[in-house]
Amino acid sequence: MFLNRTPRHVRFVAAPPEGGMASGGADQPAASSESEDVGEPIDWEAKYKEALGHSRDWEKKAKANKAAADELEKLKEASMTEQEKAAKHVKELEDKVASYETAKQRAEWKAQASAETGVPADVIEGDSLEAMQSHAKRIHELLNPKPKAPAVHGADRQPSGKGPNESMVNYLRNLGL
């Protein structure tokens, strides 16, 4: 019943003969264990020193370029007239003033949004007054949720609210009395 037979779809490949060529072709030499170990070991320390020397060369070149760029900048500044230097300084000061005014405006907007919602100004974010107000409102809603009505269990079994005299009261209302 249980014979030790090989399935039909399994195919065995014979190994090439020990001393010669593989059966696949005459021009392919057989692989030997000696050819695998022929490669020379890699000298990692020499490669590291070579890379380190290369890195130091590029570092020297970068420092030389930085020095040349600094010297060029000094020459440009020396060739500028007093009026150009003053204009450059005025431009820098105008940029500083604009950044201070922007910071002041944002602080005012934060204070306004904080006063409207009661949220601390340091947690409010945004680039405009509207964005800050909407952010403050969202934070306020998260911190102070609206109370929910209590859940009534069995609301479908509650009485309709009609008393024994309800039909008489409706009759009198219809009569206009």
Q: What is the pLDDT of residue 49?
A: 94
Q: What is the pLDDT of residue 35?
A: 45
pLDDT by residue (tens digit) across 68-80? Answer: 999 999 888 888 7
Q: What is the pLDDT of residue 90?
A: 96
Mean pLDDT per 10-residue run, the chain (177 residues)? 64 63 50 53 91 96 96 86 87 97 96 93 92 94 82 61 73 81
Residue ranges per domain, the chain? 100-146
Q: What is the pLDDT of residue 40?
A: 82
pLDDT by residue (tens digit) across 143-173? Answer: 888 887 776 676 566 556 566 677 777 888 8
State the SS3 of the chain: CCCCCCCCCCCCCCCCCCCCCCCCCCCCCCCCHHHHCCCCCCCHHHHHHHHHHHHHHHHHHHHHHHHHHHHHHHHHHHHCCHHHHHHHHHHHHHHHHHHHHHHHHHHHHHHHHHHHHCCCHHHCCCCCHHHHHHHHHHHHHHHCCCCCCCCCCCHHHCCCCCCCCHHHHHHHHHHCC
